[in-house]
């Protein structure tokens, strides 16, 4: 079986910009959630969010980027540029791919919503000013595949270019499918990951109306995965891009891999549009398939970066799923949810959490779950709280679940 390795990482997260800063942010255990002035102005039912700090698209991507591209594409481009540079795919950190065959370099991104900000800007214009005032840029800005396409335009990557939407599992699903493109010989290198910029008045109101968002008025304490007081997630935005390539290809160009994407699994709950089954049945299948795909014994998994959304149903179901898969070994798996810091970044979550899982593997550190004060007694897991924990790791598991009952799980091992 063709071994697929990770050679570059790029991230924009509420916990920080760039891998080093974002990783330090989740290790701190301090939530990035804050009152959101834009949401307050719109009068949304919930006004707490986790945004990428200090981001100016025009300053970072060139004048006119705000006008031509939606925010989700802005975030994806910056994350991709960092990943390209770390993997040595370009000269002097430029975003243009020159050091590998661009015809054999693919892009595969996940996004649950796509251009949410563009929809929200253009629809009132259509209603108030008429069809003739709708921007001609509306369609290319809002399409969920625009981020992947624009990365290709700016980087020159002419290999397979696709977008996957499995809701909040999309980032992990993209990594799974990117790995499979490499195994199939359809590409030598794939930029894979996820992006979301869904912190808008309409989407926040919709999530609030369905009861998915926290009602906690204390922003810093609102995202609290696995805590007995959790009552919903805090919405966030992010982008995470990983450079995947075959181990043979990486070795031929003299690049030292960061980790091996050893296993991937996917499944459907076939249960409900938004709620997981109580026993976590779909998650069980995805986790089990990922470990089997990696060819590892269950006892090899030492850390689980949990989906851990801070919702009552998800956290309990995920805990039951983990124990169903790993049995008594569950007690020796160190668990953390980085969403306590980042909030729930929807389609980007699986990608940024894969990056955090790789960082845990490389540094032997598992970040704490922010705001875990009193663990729910029904969640029978060893969840890290308070401070990072040093753990020698042979393999790590990262799992994601999405509306529609779609599940994805990834296993990473040392390179």
**Domains in the chain, ordered, with CATH?**
4-259 (3.40.47.10), 264-413 (3.40.47.10)
Tell which residue, 84, 110, 103, has the closest CA to residue 162.
110
Q: What is the pLDDT of residue 60?
A: 85
Q: Catalytic: which of 74, 168, 176, 249? A: 168
Q: 304 an active-site residue?
A: no
Tell which residue, 270, 268, 250, 267, has the closest CA to residue 259.
250
Q: Give me the residues paired with residue 195 across strands.
A: 239
Q: How far apart are CA 289 and CA 73, in angstroms?
A: 32
Q: How far apart are CA 351 and CA 370, in angstroms?
A: 19
Of the candidate ranges 52-66, 76-90, 264-278, 336-350, the one whose mean pLDDT is the lowest:
52-66
- Read off the pLDDT of each residue in 61-90 and give the average, rounded to a whole number: 94
Is it the case that residue 228 has pLDDT exceeding 90?
yes
| Contact (CB, 8 A) for 108 and 148 | yes
Token pair 């499944």 is at which residue? 267
Q: How confident is the model at residue 51 (pLDDT cuts 50, 70, 90)?
A: very high
Q: Catalytic: which of 74, 249, 304, 344? A: 344
| Contact (CB, 8 A) for 83 and 242 | yes
* Mean residue pLDDT across the chain: 96
| Contact (CB, 8 A) for 347 and 170 | yes
Q: What is the pLDDT of residue 62?
A: 85
| Contact (CB, 8 A) for 397 and 301 | yes
pTM of the model: 0.97
Tell me, what DSSP letter sits at residue 59?
H
Is it the case that residue 193 has pLDDT exceeding 90?
yes
Q: Catalytic: which of 74, 176, 304, 307? A: 307
What does the angle CA 166 – CA 172 – CA 174 come to, to the nearest 5 degrees?
A: 75
Q: 307 an active-site residue?
A: yes
| Contact (CB, 8 A) for 13 and 345 | yes
Q: 303 an active-site residue?
A: no
SS3 call for 12:
strand
- Tell me the per-residue pLDDT of 310-361, one tens digit each, with 9 for 90 and over: 999 999 999 999 999 999 999 999 999 999 999 999 999 999 999 999 999 9
């Amino acid at each position: 079986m063709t071994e697929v390795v990770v050679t570059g990482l790029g991230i924009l997260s509420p916990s920080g910009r760039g891998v080093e800063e974002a990783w330090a942010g989740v290790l701190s255990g301090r939530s990035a959630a804050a009152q959101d002035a834009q949401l307050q102005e719109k009068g949304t039912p919930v006004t707490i969010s986790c945004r990428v700090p200090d981001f100016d698209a025009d300053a970072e991507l060139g004048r006119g980027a705000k006008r031509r591209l939606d925010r989700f594409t802005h975030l994806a481009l910056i994350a991709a540029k960092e990943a390209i540079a770390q993997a040595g795919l370009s000269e002097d950190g430029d975003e243009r791919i020159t050091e590998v065959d661009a015809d054999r370099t693919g892009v595969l991104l996940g996004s649950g919503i796509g251009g949410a900000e563009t929809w929200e800007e253009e629809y009132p214009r259509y209603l108030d000013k008429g069809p003739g005032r709708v921007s001609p840029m509306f369609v290319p800005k809002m399409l969920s595949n625009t981020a992947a396409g624009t990365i290709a335009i700016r980087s020159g990557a002419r290999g397979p270019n696709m977008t996957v939407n499995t809701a909040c599992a999309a980032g992990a699903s993209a990594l799974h499918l990117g790995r499979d493109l490499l195994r199939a010989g359809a590409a030598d290198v794939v930029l894979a990951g996820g992006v979301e910029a869904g912190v808008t008045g309409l989407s926040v109101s919709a999530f609030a109306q369905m009861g998915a968002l926290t009602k906690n008025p204390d922003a810093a304490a609102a995202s609290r995965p696995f805590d007995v007081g959790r009552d919903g997630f805090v919405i966030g935005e992010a982008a995470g891009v990983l450079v995947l390539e075959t181990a043979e290809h990486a070795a031929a160009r003299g690049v030292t891999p960061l980790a091996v994407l050893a296993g991937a699994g996917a499944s459907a709950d076939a249960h409900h549009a938004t709620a997981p089954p109580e026993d976590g049945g779909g998650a069980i299948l995805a986790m089990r398939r990922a470990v089997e795909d990696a060819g590892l014994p269950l006892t090899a998994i030492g850390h689980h970066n949990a989906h851990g959304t801070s919702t009552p149903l998800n956290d309990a179901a995920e805990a039951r799923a983990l124990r169903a898969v790993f049995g008594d070994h569950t007690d020796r798996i160190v668990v953390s949810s980085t969403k306590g810091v980042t909030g729930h970044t929807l389609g980007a979550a699986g990608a940024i959490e894969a990056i955090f899982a790789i960082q845990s593997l490389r540094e032997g550190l598992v970040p704490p779950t922010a705001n875990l004060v009193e663990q729910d007694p029904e969640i029978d897991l060893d969840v890290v709280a308070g401070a990072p924990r040093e753990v020698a790791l042979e393999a790590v598991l990262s799992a994601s679940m999405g509306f529609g009952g779609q599940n994805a799980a990834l296993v990473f091992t040392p390179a």
